[in-house]
Amino acid sequence: MKYVVVTGGVLSGLGKGVTASSIGVLLKSAGLRVTAIKIDPYVNSDAGTMSPFEHGEVFVLDDGGEADLDLGNYERFLDISLSKDNNITTGKVYSSVIEKERRGDYLGKTVQVVPHITDEIQNWIERVACVSSDSSSLPPDACVIELGGTVGDIESAPFVESLRQFQFRVGRENICFVHVSLVPVMGPVGEQKTKPTQHTVKELRGLGIIPDILVCRSEVPLIDETREKLSAFCHVSPEAVISAHDVVNIYHVPIMMDKQGVSKLLSNKLNFKLKKDRKLLDDWEIMANHVNSLEEIVTIAMVGKYTGLSDSYLSVIKALQHSSYSVGRKLIIDWIESNNLEDEVKVSNPELYEDSWRMLKEADGILVPGGFGSRGIEGKIKAAKYARENKVPYLGVCLGLQIATIEFCRNVLGIENANSAEFAEDTENPVIIFMPEISKTHMGGTMRLGTKSTPFLVDDCKIRRLYGNKSHVDERHRHRYEVNPELIEKIESAGLVFVGKDETGQRCEIMELKNHPYYVGTQYHPEFKSRPNRPSPPFLGLLKAACGIEI
């Protein structure tokens, strides 16, 4: 097994996830089967209970694991499917060690960070690295490990120490350390400053890890003088100082790294041969250039709650982008804070209200993504109503399906005060109800989570055609509430048809409105399985309809 460990310094958010994913692409292009592990030093067991404002989106895996959004990057770049064990957290490690201690596994020893916690981390990495993550079912040849946060953080210390020990366990010839740092450009002459990188590498070396490759984030390409200086002060060869400057789109990053010799550096360090025919990289370059060439615009209005932080909807954005590449259009997302569409804002801030409604009405399509809580719900309902009445293409994901169902019950069926039990527990007309088997006492990991099968119940509809007329679909879920089964017959008789339900035939999974260009909702989250070369069908349908392409 070959390991590539990606660490970061100076500050977070430099792009370790994209760097790790791009290295995975280079390894894969060399003919290796690749998997990935994300280490998150926070004490939470997983990302499931974190606010999107705090941590970005929660990425859901096939087995129901609620993980860091970087696992989404790995899955999309490498076209693999990971499990909850591919996301290691302090909480998971300590829980496992404490459980073993309670069982008596340590035979009376005093349980300590070294060696018990560090051994647990190393054992976890070795175990997960051997698990197949692609359709071949064969064990991977290489594992990319990303350590979250920045070197020097208190909470990451046990993981850094584990990785220091790990290099001797697996052999230095089987592990490559890549350190991502910042080279800021300062002053009127635009001088590239190396001091932050010098300091972070010094700290990393002091902890016992010597980086083999330096990936330097900068607005502009590194000049030779900067590269030579970093080489001299950071104890790496000039060829191993890689410029990770800003590019037009992230699909250029693997190409950019390859052109600077990263593939060759990895092959020399880890002793594997590079293939002469690297079709995977050629395809990446074609895709990256295709994305650059898109000119004709398609506009999607994203009506949500966390619109101030795009990472909250990262997978949704990626699914829209993948679909826009497929239809050959340049995607513009108009972010609309849902409560700005509500009547209260019309009084308090009429200009903001008018601007929000103008954006909604000018959009080619409307998307209401998943979410929790009651804030901005009435605005989302108004957006769904506008899309339904004005034949504007609409996609509702999870909460977006529930919103559309509430709106339909209120304004088509005439059910007064129709609502969700999530927003009004004592509502007299609950269109959306709490799922009976879900815990009401615990928040973490208690939703309907992971990949579930959804059989189609109709022979022909737009959404089934988009899925290639399959008999069923397997998509990932994350929800606590569902459409009230008692109202389904009444809703369907008025034209809003639930074309896909779960295996029991009770739970509504996919809805589609008759006599509308595209008015679709999914209870599951199709964005999690979207890939650059294989866009998610519900999102592709939205983009096709928004462009006037027949489905």
Lookup result for tokens 């990895």: 266
What is the Cα–Cα distance from 369 to 349, expressed in whole angstroms? Answer: 25
Active site residue 477: no
Lookup result for tokens 């003919």: 31
Lookup result for tokens 């609620």: 66
Interhelix angle 537-546/314-327, rounded to 10 degrees, is 60
Query: Smallest Cα–Cα separation from 395: which of 374, 421, 413, 370?
Result: 370
End-to-end CA distance of the chain: 46
What is the Cα–Cα distance from 115 to 289, expressed in whole angstroms? Answer: 49
What is the Cα–Cα distance from 539 to 518, expressed in whole angstroms? Answer: 11
With vertex at residue 529, the alpha carbon angle to CA 525 and CA 535, rounded to the nearest 5 degrees, is 105
What is the Cα–Cα distance from 8 to 4, expressed in whole angstroms? Answer: 13
State both tokens at 73. Answer: 């990057």
Active site residue 143: no
Active site residue 479: no
> Could you tell me how far CA 359 lies from the centroid of its own chain?
26
Query: Smallest Cα–Cα separation from 22: which of 298, 274, 330, 256?
Result: 256
In angstroms, what CA-CA distances link 493 with 420, 449, 489, 498, 510? 21, 30, 6, 11, 16
State both tokens at 547. Answer: 């462009």
Question: Do the beta carbons of residue 366 and residue 360 sit within 8 Å?
Answer: yes
Q: Which of 120, 161, 337, 527 is catalytic?
A: 527
Query: Smallest Cα–Cα separation from 476: which of 530, 434, 535?
Result: 530
Q: Which of 176, 216, 398, 409 is catalytic?
A: 398
Question: Do the beta carbons of residue 367 and residue 416 sit within 8 Å?
Answer: no
Cα torsion 63, 64, 65, 70 to 10°: value is 90
What is the Cα–Cα distance from 38 to 84, expressed in whole angstroms? Answer: 10
Catalytic residues: 398, 525, 527
